[in-house]
Amino acid sequence: MPFMAAIYWLVPRSRPARLLRSPFMKFLYHSASFGVFLLLLIVTSVQVSSIAGRQRQRGPPPTEFEWLISIWVAGFIWSECKQLWEEGAKAYLRQWWNWLDFIMLSLYLTTITLRFLAYIQIESGRYGPRELDRKYWPLYDPTIVSEGLFAVANVFSFARIIFLCQACDFLFLFTCC
């Protein structure tokens, strides 16, 4: 996928770039990209829960996978902004999938912001110790709230698969005709 993106940027009027602009190819690349994003979510969720020391650490620095998720979220936000610009607000807001995307991306942005805030608070040294049993953490600790929001955002992300399944049914029927 990165190779195809480079072709699209470097020679946008070439035959391969024109092929990439076709609706079917856009659907395939967006679906593949979203599949990689879901895989990153799974790996991150498993990785965070399996590291015992991380459960006691307040305001932990982001892992490599969390950085990748942040990049994907930024790309999704850019894509939604482009779609909003091209369709106009009225048409954009009529599609409930866009509402789902808005909620999902808002939750991820809030998660990223809270994680950054928690990291800054702990690094400043004025918000208590870095290592502490979770039962002693403040009730609304930014790390705890961000983990909860991340879990909810993941549910919304996996709900987006329904859209892909509907599109696959349509494509299957289209190819059978």
Tokens of 137: 């953490």
Burial of residue 31, with CB atoms counted within 10 A of its CB: 0-12 exposed, 13-18 middle, 19 or more buried? middle
Identify the pLDDT of residue 51: 66
* Domain boundaries, position 143: 2-176
Identify the segments of the chain with pLDDT beneath 70. Answer: 1-5, 7-9, 48-53, 164, 166-177
pLDDT score, position 13:
76
Confidence at residue 174, expressed as pLDDT on a 0 to 100 scale:
45
Instruction: Decide: pTM greater than 0.75.
Output: yes
How many structural domains comprise the chain?
1
